[in-house]
Structure 1
Amino acid sequence: MLLTPRPSVRRRRLLRAAVLAAASAGLVAAALPAPGALGIGDPLFPHLGNPGYDVLAYDLDLTYPGRNTEPLKAVTGIEAVATEDLGHLNLDFTHGTVGAVRVNGEPAAYTTSGEDLVITPEDRIDAGDRLRITVTHTSDPSGPAEAGGWVRTSDGLAMANQADAAHRVFPSNDHPADKAYFTFRVTAPSDLTAVANGQPVDRTEQGGTTTWTYRTAHPMATELAQVSIGRSKVVHRTGPHDLPVRDVVPADDEKLLEPWLRKTPEQMAWMEAKVGRYPFENYGVLVADAETGFELETQTLSLFERRLFTDARFPAWLVEAIMVHELAHQWFGDSVTPRRWSDLWLNEGHASWYEALYADEKAGQSLERRMKAAYAASDRWRSAGGPPAAPEPPSPGEKISLFRPVVYDGSALVLYALRQEIGKDAFEELERRWVVDHKDATAGTDDFVRLAGEIAGRDLTAFFRAWLYGKKTPAMPGHPDWRSAPVTAAKPG
């Protein structure tokens, strides 16, 4: 995710991982308590995710009524495997009405607790059992855009589920630690176009409606799911290695946006030269006529506000750099997904790093000058939001407040310091190894620290402890003259 820059203000700045793997990281409770709201113990989102099972695949069937103010009819199918004996299981779900639940084809009792759907199947589930959970429900697009989930556009809907809003759209194990494969079936009036993550596999028309089916070829975190419904044009081209590139734009804006869209293949080639081959089956830009306040790296189909490309006050180099930011996330955050939300710095720090490096190489916007400015602000950012790998929880009712400057340029600054510390060659080897070793999986800060030490040939624990967890910004290697501005106490109101 990248917060959309405001022209008048200086720029400000988310193969499936098994629940068993999360358990080894201390995230999963040993056994399920009595029915109630659960969570896998993520420090920043303690009620997200659910222990006791691992989701393998989601099958989402959505029927759009033609108006983005009315709930969609939906059926969510979940294939999972139990990782422990279960008398009941929880799904994250809110902002919709449940009509029925089945487990392995049999009706199951259900209730709600907080933002959990608590399911009690007729037969107890044993560890190792395969599960097929089917929930018939509605999916409600009403509510403020900042709450996440469905985003109402001028002609339909799109999704923005980061960080904890996928369960406002469909029942799920809504934590990035449990990635899964997705199939989407979207039925809408035939004068509209529906697009989702992954590849198109079917399209059928019946009466005045069309059902569009898409399927991912790689596992995906729930927060990266994307469905767009509207009067859209799908523009096709090819990227490196003949990779399919499909952009989804308002139909009337195709010619207006084409100068930006055609930049994507070159941007992809630039990223591949830095970190290796693009990790997914296709890519594209989704331009939504809505004001969200951010751009979002939904897997294979990054979400952008229309105004980013149409407001002439945004300089061209900045627009392109932001496009690269979301593209970089396809490697850092989407293919390699954070094990817990405090690992967010690995997503946003890397995306901001490549955004800044692209602007440096392509537009002469000095990387060193940007990092020096970030260093000057770093102590203030740490004081306001915590250090990069131990951010403060988001403000109540303002989940987007997790996305503070310290996780953007404050975290890119850590990568700059690391490159200064271990050298450019070792740093570039680390980047390439990271996205290969953890492709389609989840990884955390400890994994990155361990790999960096292996490549550097020395223990970097103390270096990372200071840079990632310190209240004060350490001295910058190679730049002893850099200073961080002192933190001043807020004036009484």
Structure 2
Amino acid sequence: MPLLSRRLRAALLATASATLVAAALPAPEPLGIGDRLFPELGNPGYDVLAYDIALTYHGSNTKPLDAVTKISARTTAPLDRINLDFARGTVLGVEVNGRSVDFGSKNEDLVLQAPRRLPAGAPLNITVRHTSDPAGAADDGGWVRTADGLAMANQADAAHRVFPGNDHPSDKAYFTFRITAPRKLTAVAAGLPTGRTRHGSTTTWTYRTEHPMATELAQVSIGSSAVLHRTGPHGLPVRDVVPAADRKRLEPWLAKTPAQLEWMEEQVGRYPFETYGVLVADSPIGFALETQTLSLFGRSFFTEPAYPEWYVDSVMIHELAHQWFGNSVSPATWSDLWLNEGHASWYEARYAEEHGGGTLERRMREAYKLSDGWRADGGPPAHPDGPAPGQKLSLFRPVMYDGSALVLYALHQEIGVAAFDRLERTWVRVHRDSTATTADFTRLASGIAGRDLTAFFDGWLYGKTTPPMPGHPDWTSAKPA
């Protein structure tokens, strides 16, 4: 709806024309921060510091949840209007800095009229009362319906289909979740629990993150769940959330997590968050997702007998590795996604090699054969193709996985084991709890290698064809048809 003041809205209903009203208050317009791949995601003019999201689940995963999203932010430019990303729910009312304001929507933006012009550097406190609708979740992300409730799968551009916010990984913030659900159900969320209160037939569960998080990594699960606790390295609390009926069946897989944490710490240094665990959803999702502190997996991933043990283990490592690469160090733009998926695939492959899978070299040689075709189909690793006209963008292509791990293999060959190891540890330490770009990575790599690697990275990250593999001049890539 257009942005109309209460007085103008009343006047419109009485005598004024739409033309006069539109002249006084222009219609809302969607904004974005200019991401090449998702140009309308994110919003300029403010920096979110914290989200406080209250959700009330009424016992049915087909009905909208009642929700209140509070956003604490600071303006970075003068603002007359504030744009939020929000696409699936009904907005019932909005306050900005304690005052009710008018609002409208356009495309996937919720546009708020500031109570007055806000200068740069001003506090910005927004409260949105809304619904959060699981309808359509199977099509384009956000809520995932499970056999007994809901979970979240927000990557890459679906968090704003659950709650309003600044839905771009460049604006990380702290999160508090307050989930009210029927007493027979269990609610969990990213971060650590800070309270649980019963109100008659319902229970409210509260969780907070101790580190900033991108909106795409938020996780809330509601269902008939068992929460299992164990201890990881350095006393790290590890909690797993599984369908209660599958608790015993899944325990052998879940018991592996502490040792997997130890393995990753040996590679890149200490785990970067306050807790970790696995969320198993009783849902036919065909993917796993690195939601922060609580990685999401479909139930069949652990119960399908056709998957060899080394494969399941290595995918668990893939999502765990993301806690460093993608979650703690988040991409500044979506074109930097190769840094997430390339590193997670790299450690997945290395773990598989050590635990009964094929060798890293064989996997990388196969990737090299296919690399030119992957680049032709989806663009090079650091410059993926945008969507075709009228189509939704799908970023998660082979070039982002083994095609990007191949870049790291080439770099490993180019600068040597010691320098590569130092690069990995330095990268996650220097950029912890922040965002970083491809240019940040290539600059750090050059510094650690002691020489300019610009030409190397230009070919491997941006070339239409795959450069020769250092140390393997006999490797060839099949030309795309």
Question: For the superposition of Structure 1 and Structure 2, which TM-score range results when normalised by the shorter chain?
Answer: over 0.9
Aligned residue identity for 1:436: R
Match of 1:118 among 102, 111, 115: 111
Match of 1:406 among 396, 399, 410: 399
2:469 matched to which residue of 1?
476
Question: Does the 8 A contact of 2:311 with 2:357 survive in 1?
Answer: no
1:449-489 deviation per Cα after TM superposition (whole angstroms, max 9, x unaligned): 0000000000000000000000000000000000001111x
2:51 matched to which residue of 1?
58
2:436 matched to which residue of 1?
443
2:33 matched to which residue of 1?
40
The 5 Å alignment of 1:161-240 reads: 161-240=154-233
Between 395-404 and 109-118, the greater mean CA deviation after superposition = 395-404
Aligned residue identity for 2:122: D
Tell me how far 1:395 sits from its aligned partner: 5.3
1:71 matched to which residue of 2?
64
Tell me, which stretches of 5 or more residues in structure 1 are unaligned?
A: 1-32, 489-493
Tell me how far 1:216 sits from its aligned partner: 0.1
Q: In 2 relative to 1, CA 144–133 (structure 1 residues): closer, same or farther, beyond 3 Å?
A: closer
2:117 matches 1:107: no
1:325 matched to which residue of 2?
318
Structure with the bigger RCO (C-alpha within 8 Å, sep 6+) is 1
2:309 matched to which residue of 1?
316
User: Secondary structure in 1 aligned to 2:364?
Assistant: helix
2:14 matched to which residue of 1?
none
Distance in 1 separating the partners of 2:137 and 2:390: 11
User: Secondary structure in 2 aligned to 1:88?
Assistant: strand
1:21-57 deviation per Cα after TM superposition (whole angstroms, max 9, x unaligned): xxxxxxxxxxxx9841000000000000000000000
Distance in 2 separating the partners of 1:366 and 1:48: 40
2:366 matches 1:363: no
1:49-104 deviation per Cα after TM superposition (whole angstroms, max 9, x unaligned): 00000000000000001000000000000000000111111000011000000001
1:147 matched to which residue of 2?
140
Distance in 2 separating the partners of 1:435 and 1:96: 37
Tell me, which stretches of 5 or more residues in structure 2 are unaligned?
A: 1-25
2:124 matched to which residue of 1?
131
Question: Does the 8 A contact of 1:99 with 1:136 survive in 2?
Answer: yes
The ranges of structure 1 where at least 4 consecutive aligned residues each deviate by more than 3 angstroms after the TM superposition are 394-400
Tell me how far 1:393 sits from its aligned partner: 1.9
Distance in 2 separating the partners of 1:180 and 1:484: 42
Distance in 2 separating the partners of 1:75 and 1:259: 39
Q: In 2 relative to 1, CA 120–77 (structure 1 residues): closer, same or farther, beyond 3 Å?
A: same
Distance in 1 separating the partners of 2:389 and 2:411: 34
Distance in 2 separating the partners of 1:375 and 1:265: 33
Question: Does the 8 A contact of 1:35 with 1:88 survive in 2?
Answer: no
User: Secondary structure in 2 aligned to 1:332?
Assistant: coil
Between 388-397 and 73-82, the greater mean CA deviation after superposition = 388-397
Tell me how far 1:401 sits from its aligned partner: 2.4
1:295 matched to which residue of 2?
288
1:204-238 deviation per Cα after TM superposition (whole angstroms, max 9, x unaligned): 00100000000000000000000000000000000
1:141-199 deviation per Cα after TM superposition (whole angstroms, max 9, x unaligned): 01141410000000000000000000000000000000000000000000000000000
Question: Does the 8 A contact of 1:163 with 1:400 survive in 2?
Answer: no
Distance in 2 separating the partners of 1:439 and 1:34: 40
Distance in 1 separating the partners of 2:86 and 2:394: 22
Question: Does the 8 A contact of 1:163 with 1:399 survive in 2?
Answer: no
The 5 Å alignment of 1:451-490 reads: 451-488=444-481
Tell me how far 1:362 sits from its aligned partner: 1.9
Between 142-151 and 395-404, the greater mean CA deviation after superposition = 395-404
Distance in 2 separating the partners of 1:95 and 1:323: 31
Question: Does the 8 A contact of 1:162 with 1:223 survive in 2?
Answer: yes
2:10 matched to which residue of 1?
none
1:100-119 deviation per Cα after TM superposition (whole angstroms, max 9, x unaligned): 00001100110001100000
Question: Does the 8 A contact of 2:368 with 2:406 survive in 1?
Answer: yes
Which has the higher Rg, Structure 1 or Structure 2?
2
1:11 matched to which residue of 2?
none
Distance in 1 separating the partners of 2:402 and 2:304: 24
Tell me how far 1:423 sits from its aligned partner: 0.1
Distance in 1 separating the partners of 2:475 and 2:392: 33
Q: In 2 relative to 1, CA 484–347 (structure 1 residues): closer, same or farther, beyond 3 Å?
A: same
Aligned residue identity for 1:165: A
Question: Does the 8 A contact of 2:147 with 2:282 survive in 1?
Answer: yes
Distance in 2 separating the partners of 1:438 and 1:395: 33
Aligned residue identity for 1:248: V
2:244 matched to which residue of 1?
251
How many matched pairs? Answer: 456
TM-score, length of structure 2 as denominator length: 0.94
Distance in 1 separating the partners of 2:390 and 2:234: 44
Distance in 1 separating the partners of 2:461 and 2:376: 13
Distance in 2 separating the partners of 1:190 and 1:365: 47
Question: Does the 8 A contact of 1:146 with 1:400 survive in 2?
Answer: no
Aligned residue identity for 2:436: A
Question: Does the 8 A contact of 2:183 with 2:201 survive in 1?
Answer: yes
Q: In 2 relative to 1, CA 114–195 (structure 1 residues): closer, same or farther, beyond 3 Å?
A: same
Between 92-101 and 138-147, the greater mean CA deviation after superposition = 138-147
Distance in 1 separating the partners of 2:270 and 2:238: 15
Question: Does the 8 A contact of 1:395 with 1:401 survive in 2?
Answer: no
1:82 matched to which residue of 2?
75
Aligned residue identity for 2:35: D
1:393 matched to which residue of 2?
386
Aligned residue identity for 1:81: R
The 5 Å alignment of 1:409-428 reads: 409-428=402-421
1:282-322 deviation per Cα after TM superposition (whole angstroms, max 9, x unaligned): 00000001122211000000000100000001111100000
Q: In 2 relative to 1, CA 312–364 (structure 1 residues): closer, same or farther, beyond 3 Å?
A: closer
Distance in 1 separating the partners of 2:392 and 2:294: 22
Distance in 2 separating the partners of 1:355 and 1:76: 36
Q: In 2 relative to 1, CA 394–361 (structure 1 residues): closer, same or farther, beyond 3 Å?
A: farther
Tell me how far 1:324 sits from its aligned partner: 0.2
Distance in 1 separating the partners of 2:395 and 2:170: 18
